[in-house]
Amino acid sequence: MFAARIELRIGSLDIDVAVDAADGETVALLGPNGAGKTTILRAIAGLLAIERGRIEVDGLVLDDPAAGVFVPTADRPIGLVFQDYLLFPRMSALDNVAFGLRARGMDKPAARAAAAGWLERFGLTGHAASRPRALSGGQSQRVALARALATSPRLLLLDEPLAALDAGTRVQVRTSLRRYLATFGGARILVTHDPVDAMVLADRVIVVEDGRVIQAGTVTDVARHPRSRYVADLVGVNLLHGTRAEPYLVRLASGAELVVADPLPGDEVVVAVRPQAVAVYRDRPDGSPRNVWPATVADVEVDRDRVRVQLEGPVPVVAEVTPGALAELELAPGTRVWAAVKAVELSVYTQ
Amino acid sequence: MKLRLALILATAALLAGCSDTGGGTGSATPTGADSAGATPASGKITVFAAASLTDAFQQLGDQFEAAHPGAKVEFNFAASSALREQIIGGAPADVFASANESNMTQVVDAGLATGPAPFVTNVLQIAVPPDNPGQVAGLSDFAKPDLLIGLCAEEVPCGEFGRESLAKAGVTPSIDTNEPDVRSLITKVENGDLDAGIVYHTDVLAASDAVKGIDIPDDQNVVATYPIAALSGSGQADLASQFVEYVRSPDGQQVLESFGFRPA
Amino acid sequence: MTRAADRAKARPPWALIPLAVLAAAFLVVPFLALLQRTPWTGLGDLIGRPVVVDALRLSLLSSLAATGAALVLGIPLAWLLARQRFPGRSVVRAMVLLPMVLPPVVGGAALLFAFGRRGLLGEPVYDQTGLLLPFSTAGVIVANTFVAMPFLIITVEAGLRSMDRRYEDAAATLGASAWTVFRRITVPMVAPSIVAGAVLCWARALGEFGATVTFAGNLQGRTQTMPLAVFLALESGDRQAAIALSLLLIVVSLAVMVPMRDRWLGV
């Protein structure tokens, strides 16, 4: 059981976040590069001290500036898997895994025996004597994980665990990592910039941007109701910010107005539009959609049997159409078109 | 392959350019004005002199230059053995003043000097720190193992003579260091790092208050005869011999005596 | 090497070659000249003399002892300079470099002022215990350490600065104490720098002359190291002995450094 409030300043970044994770739960810290995610992890590990706040694992206070408590890294019951794994290059995989146990006082034969057990659990028995440079990316990751788990930590931290792998291996390893993580009884905090990682590995997501928590919730919640451009982009949703003009009307910054089907929940709102819900016409359509506006094609991106058309204008959105439609409408950058969205397709929620 | 070959050829070429000149009797090539027609009183001479002659010869040099306007005297002071090596090795010197006969003899044997003549003598003296911590009274104290005793290395004249003197006194010294030259020996005595050393009388005088001198009785002392000679390869033969004459003249001798040297 | 590999080898910037050859020649030719003058017949006799054996033994003993002292004292200082911020750090670093800049004889004189019989520390120690460093083998080791240790410190400090410190973080997260991290992670990772520094230090100590003769004096068997023996041989005109001794010194140095070069210093 892990709970932390972390406030610290690093370089030009001000971090002020609250993170928590229950035993057996995987929480992903998701955010763009430079958001401060790795810094948060380092603070939890004790490699950095916080300025204000409190970090606690299973009731044990690790860092509390106000109370003058700071537990050094070596005494914290945490395990950390680094982005580059950082397996000690001059030690075998076995000795790497045994390192934490030996450092805590276990004698060499006992530590090695325990390490051998861990390697077996991760399917690495054949590589026990190998040096890290002889291991593949996926194998290295498993050794790093075994090394971190061997000391029976109460909290497991993972920093971009799949970043060092190539695309093909990543998919495989992601799946097996999910399995391994499930075997660990404590809380797990995972840092990533890849939403798919979060989706596959995490139970809950905390979106961090510019040192602040933008959103927190289950993966589905966050994906359905993105609160920031970053997450919206990630999940491929159009996000428009506007103010309430009338109970069912949202006015955007550009002045354009959108009709929505549900009563507006507040004065400052966010309108989410799925690209699939945006229809594109050559001529102004005459039909049921309440929201129709002129636009210019800015960019066209073909992706197998879907085409993403970036539209500029009073309502900047990305529309998704079929290649057939692209050809028929002769859509190209610079083409003037009309776009339409049904009011019922718009999700509106407060910021 | 090509690179290796280039390297080997370059090295071979450089080696071939060197020829064995050492150990033989290379003579210093004449420099400066032709001795026959030039004005005898002008020109530059280089005098290689034993380190113990430093202060005395510098004064002699100044006075010589004053008496011979246009003449310039430059000095190279070092242990006589080092100077001998340099001269034999071809160093351009016009005059050689040695602290012992054997070094001069070797230079003469190498055909580089003729007609050396003694010009002063020097005697040895015991040097102790001003407060004489070892309470040294004479050469017999040099046998005491608990005293820190220094001599010049055997390879330099003052070391050779020092040992001779100890032998005359029938003393087997308990030596702690053989300093490569008199200067470093005196410095260590001055600083109190040594209890006693055997140096020249002139060195004790030169150090004045920094060092206290204890006389060695005549029957134990060694008289070091200093020979001087103009070198054969000199390009300033006239000026060189003039300098030698000056050193041996009454004026020169007076200067030398003021520094503690005795007549030859 | 196969021809294919040869063909694909990167071409050197040709302008560098003549300069490199010149540099190599500059460094190598004096040794070749020495070899040319070596009295090959009778070399065995020259080298077998007690004065030579004593000097060689003393040189090896003192240079190795100095290297050992430099490792024990220098690595911690290098670590401090590389890792700890403390007031006056840049001053300390500059002072560490001083023995490299000082003429060795000046260094020897400074050692006398500190540890001589009338020295700052030497005097009280002598008065209390009768122990004295000058004119002893220990004094030779001290002089060697003084001039050679900076080489080790500078090399190891550079290694510590350039090493990836995240490995130390990783060790900390696994529960390793600061000492364990240093012993099992840091030192093995900077081992190449340590070896390189030790070799430099040893080489400098072996060739050390000025500080040794000024501080420890010169006495066969006790303080007369090889460089001193060579110097005195030259002084006395025994050119042959000087060359033979020099050759011996060179052979001993090469015997240690050639095997080291590729394995450790090349890393």
**What pLDDT is attached to residue B150?**
96
C11 assigned to some structural domain:
no
Average pLDDT of span C94-117: 92
Distance between CA atoms of residues C196 and C194, nearest Å: 5
Mean pLDDT of A262-271: 82
Residue C1 binned pLDDT confidence (cut-offs 50, 70, 90): low
The pLDDT tens digits for C229-250 are: 999 888 777 888 888 888 888 8
C59 falls within a domain: yes
pLDDT tens by residue, A184-221: 999 999 999 887 788 788 889 999 999 999 889 987 78
Rounded CA-CA distance A117/C71 in Å is 39
Q: How high is the pLDDT of residue B26?
A: 39
How would residue B213 be classed by pLDDT, with cut points 50, 70 and 90?
very high
How do A336-341 and A306-312 pair as beta strands?
A: unpaired
**Alpha carbon distance B214, B258 (integer Å):** 19
Distance CA B139, CA B123 (A): 14
Interface of A with C in 75-104 (CB under 8 A): 75-76, 78-80, 82, 84, 86, 88-90, 99-100, 103-104
Closest residue by Cα to residue A26 from A137, A178, A139? A178
- Asked if B20 lies within 8 A of C36 by C-beta distance, the reply is yes
Q: Is C176 on the interface with A (CB under 8 A)?
A: yes
Q: pTM for this one?
A: 0.77
Binned at pLDDT 50, 70 and 90, residue B72 comes out as: very high
Q: In this predicted structure, what is the pLDDT of residue A289?
A: 86
What is the spatial order of strands in the sheet that A291-303 belongs to? A279-281, A336-341, A291-303, A306-312, A317-321
Residue A105 identity (one-letter amino acid): G
CA–CA gap between residue B84 and residue B110 (Å, rounded): 10
Give mean pLDDT, residues B66-85: 90
C31, part of any domain: no
CA distance B28 to A10: 74
Nearest to A100 among C174, C178, C189 (CB): C174
Superfamily of segment(s) B41-121+225-263? Periplasmic binding protein-like II (3.40.190.10)
CA angle A245, A251, A254 (to 5 degrees): 150
A271 pLDDT higher than 90? no
Lowest mean pLDDT of A269-283, B198-212, C6-20, name the range. Answer: C6-20
Mutation choice for C interface testing from B193, B194, B195 by most C CBs within 10 A: B193
**Which residues in chain B touch residue C25, judged by CB atoms under 8 angstroms apart?**
10-11, 14
CA B179 to chain C, closest CA, distance in angstroms equals: 6
Give the whole-angstrom CA distance, residue C77 versus residue C91: 13
Residues of A in contact with C188 (CB under 8 A): 90
Residues from chain A contacting residue C185 (CB–CB below 8 Å)? 88
Mean pLDDT of A2-12: 92
HEC sequence for B113-153:
ECCCEEEEEEEEEEEECCCCCCCCCCHHHHHCCCCCEEEEC
Asked whether residue A351 carries a pLDDT value surpassing 60, the answer given is no
Q: With a CB-CB cutoff of 8 Å, which residues 101-140 of chain C face chain B?
A: 112, 116-118, 132, 134-135
For the cut 80, the answer to whether the pLDDT of residue A223 exceeds it is: no
Q: Do the domains B41-121+225-263 and B122-223 sit in the same CATH topology, yes or no?
A: yes
The pLDDT of residue C31: 87
CB neighbour list of residue C241: distance below 8 Å, 6 or more residues apart: C46, C52, C233
What is the pLDDT, as a whole number, of residue A197?
83
For residue A291, the cross-strand partners are A341
Helix (H) or strand (E) holding A52, with range, is strand A52-57
Is C37 in the B-facing interface, judged by CB distances under 8 Å? yes
List the one residue out of B134, B180, B141, B148 whose CA is nearest residue C135. B148
Residue C12 lies in a domain: no
Cβ under 8 Å to B: C residues 145-184: none
**pLDDT of amino acid B168:** 94
- Judged on CB neighbours under 10 Å (0-12, 13-18, 19+), A236 is middle
Tokens, residue A218: 């289950």
The CATH number of domain B122-223 is 3.40.50.970: no
Question: For residue B33, is pLDDT > 50?
Answer: no
Q: Which of A9-23, A97-111, B126-140, C29-43 has the lowest mean pLDDT?
A: C29-43
**A136 neighbors A163 (Cβ within 8 angstroms):** no
Whether the CA torsion C72, C74, C79, C81 is positive or negative: it is: positive
pLDDT in the model for residue A76? 95
Interface predicted TM-score of the whole assembly (ipTM), two decimals? 0.80
pLDDT at A290: 84
Q: What pLDDT sits at residue B39?
A: 44
Report the gap between the CA of C163 and the closest CA in chain A (Å).
13
| CB-CB under 8 Å, C231 with B191 | no
Residues in chain A with CB shorter than 8 Å from the CB of C167 are: 86, 88
Q: Residue C35 domain-assigned? A: no
The position carrying tokens 């290689």 is B48
Kindly list the domain boundaries of chain B, sorted by start residue. 41-121+225-263, 122-223
Among C123, C103, C98, C104, which residue's Cα sits nearest to residue C113? C123
Q: Looking at beta carbons, which residues of chain C come within 8 Å of A72?
A: 172
pLDDT tens digits for C114-154? 999 999 999 999 989 988 999 999 999 999 999 999 999 99
Query: C104: domain CATH number?
Result: 1.10.3720.10
- The region of weakest confidence among A31-35, B4-8, B171-175 is B4-8
Percent above pLDDT 70 for chain C: 94
Q: What is the pLDDT of residue B29?
A: 41
Distances in whole angstroms, Cα of residue A15 to Cα of each of A6, A40, A192, A227: 7, 8, 17, 19
Nearest to B93 by CA among B60, B140, B46: B46
The reply to whether C27 falls in a domain is no
Q: Which of A97, A99, A102 to mutate to test the interface with C (most CBs of C within 10 A)?
A: A99
d(CA B212, CA B206): 11
**C240/C37 Cα distance (integer angstroms):** 8
- B42 vs C40, more confident: C40
Cross-strand partners of A56 = A3, A61
Contact residues on chain C for A84, CB-CB shorter than 8 A: 166
Q: Would you report the helix, strand and coil content of chain A in percent, each value rounded to 5?
A: 30, 35, 35
**CB contact, 8 Å: C187 with chain A?**
no
B145 phi and psi angles, rounded to 5 deg:
-70, -25
Instruction: Give the CB-side neighbour count of residue B101, counting CA atoms within 13 A.
Output: 8
Q: Which residues contact A264 (CB under 8 A, 6 or more apart)?
A: A244, A247, A248, A250, A348
A325, A328, B66, B171 from A332: Cα distances, Å:
12, 11, 103, 113
Residue pair B175/B151 in contact (Cβ under 8 Å)? The answer is yes
Residue B30 has pLDDT above 50, yes or no: no
Cβ neighbours for C238, distance < 8 A, ≥ 6 positions apart: none
pLDDT (average), residues B157-185: 92
**pLDDT value at A340 more than 90:** yes
Specify the pLDDT at position A167: 75
What pLDDT is recorded for position C12? Answer: 78
Computed over every residue of chain A, the mean pLDDT equals: 89
Closest partner residue to C32 among B3, B15, B154, by Cβ?
B15
Alpha carbons within 13 A on the beta-carbon side of B151: 24
Q: How confident is the model at residue C62 (pLDDT cuts 50, 70, 90)?
A: very high
- What is the predicted pLDDT for the residue at A61? 94
Which residues constitute the domain of residue C69?
43-265
CB A132 within 8 A of CB A81: no
What domains are defined for chain A? 2-87+135-229 (3.40.50.300), 236-350 (2.40.50.100)
Residue B36 has pLDDT above 60, yes or no: no
Number of domains in chain C: 1
